[in-house]
Amino acid sequence: MRLFWKDNDPACKIEVPERLTVSHEALVRTGLADRCVSVPVREATDAEILLAHSEEYLEAVKKTPYMSLEDLMELTRQYGDVYFHPNIYHCAKLAAGAALQLVDSVMTGKVRNGMALVRPPGHHSMRSAANGFCVFNNVAIAARYAKQKYGVRRVLIVDWDIHHGQGVQYCFEDDPSVLYFSWHRYEHQKFWPHLRNSDYDIVGKEKGAGFNINVPWNKVGMENGDYLSVFCHVLLPVAYEFCPDLVLVCAGFDSAIGDPEGEMCATPDVFAHLTHLLMNLAGGKLCAVLEVRPPSLYKKDAEEKVWPEPPKRVTPPVCAALVLPDDVACPEGCERFSFSEDLDPLLASKLRYG
C-alpha cells in the first residue's frame, strides 16, 4: 500500500512500504532473521481495538474499504497528517494484531522478547482520531490487552521515536498502572506535533500524576551519550521503582543518525544498549513495536550507516549490568545481573564478584 495522491507531498516519501521491506531485508542479509522465531500474525478483533478506541471511530474506519477516492480524501481531511486507503483498515488490524500476538508469545514464554515489524504505525492515533500516519494505537491496545488477558499489573511504555507519541500519553495520562516515557524533538513546540502537552512539565493527571515522563529535545544533534544519560539518570531510576511486569517499546528509528527530519546523531549501537538496559526489567519481558523508520534508509549510503555489517562476536559476550548496593534488595521481577547469552558459571561468578 503506497501513497500516490500528490507526487510532491513529502509524506509520500515517509510512510512507504519500504519501512517494512528494508527492515526485513536487513535482518536477512545480516543473518539475524535465522536467529529469530517468526510469530504468525492475525487481525485484531473489534473488542481488542475498542480497548483503546471509541466505537464511533472504529465504525468510521470500517467503512474505508467501500469508499471512493473522493470519499477517502474527504475523510482524511477530518484528521491530521494521515491518509486513508481502501486497504488501510485491513492493514491496521494486522498491525494491532501482530503486536498482540507478540504479547501472547512473550507472556506465555514462547519467546523471551521480540519485535513486531508493522505498518501502519500507531503511537499518534487517539481514542477517536487518526493522526500522524497512525490509525489504531498498536502499543496502547497491547498494553490494555496484556492487563486484561494476563493480569499484568504494571506496564512500562518507552517511546524513543523522534516524535512525541501523544496518542499513548492521552490514553494513559490518568492511569497509575502504566508508566509512559517519551523523548522527542520539540524545539520549544516548533517541531511536529507542536503540542504544549509534549513538554517536560506534563506529568499525567489525577491518579496518573507522576506516571508520564516527557524529555523534549530543544535542539538537534543528540548523540549516543545523550540518549544513554537520559536513560540512566531519568528513566531507569523511576522504572526500577515502578517495577513493571511488562515493557513495551514504541520503536521509531527516525531518532537515529541519517534521518533528515530527526537530525539526531545516535548510532544503531546505542539502541542495542538501550534495549539491553530495558531487558533488566520485568524479567526480560519486552515487546518492541515498529513506529517510523527514516526515509533516508532507502538510499544506499544512509542504509549502510544505520544497518552496518554486525561485528564479529568476541568471547565472552556480555552486556552492562546494573549493580545494586548489598543493602538494597533487588525488586521483584528484576535481575541484578543480565547477560546477552548464557555464560560459563565460573566466568559469570568472576564477573559478579571479581
Maximum CA pair distance of the chain? Answer: 69
Q: Are 254 and 263 in contact (CB under 8 A)?
A: no
Strand, helix or coil at 69? Answer: helix
Facing residues of 247 across strands?
A: 156, 286
Cα separation of 303 and 79, whole Å? 32
Strand, helix or coil at 134? Answer: strand
Active site amino acids: 124
Q: Are 208 and 172 in contact (CB under 8 A)?
A: yes
Cα separation of 294 and 284, whole Å? 28
Q: Are 273 and 279 in contact (CB under 8 A)?
A: no
- DSSP 8-state assignment for residue 66: G
All three cell numbers of 277, joined, read 538496559
Cα separation of 158 and 342, whole Å? 26
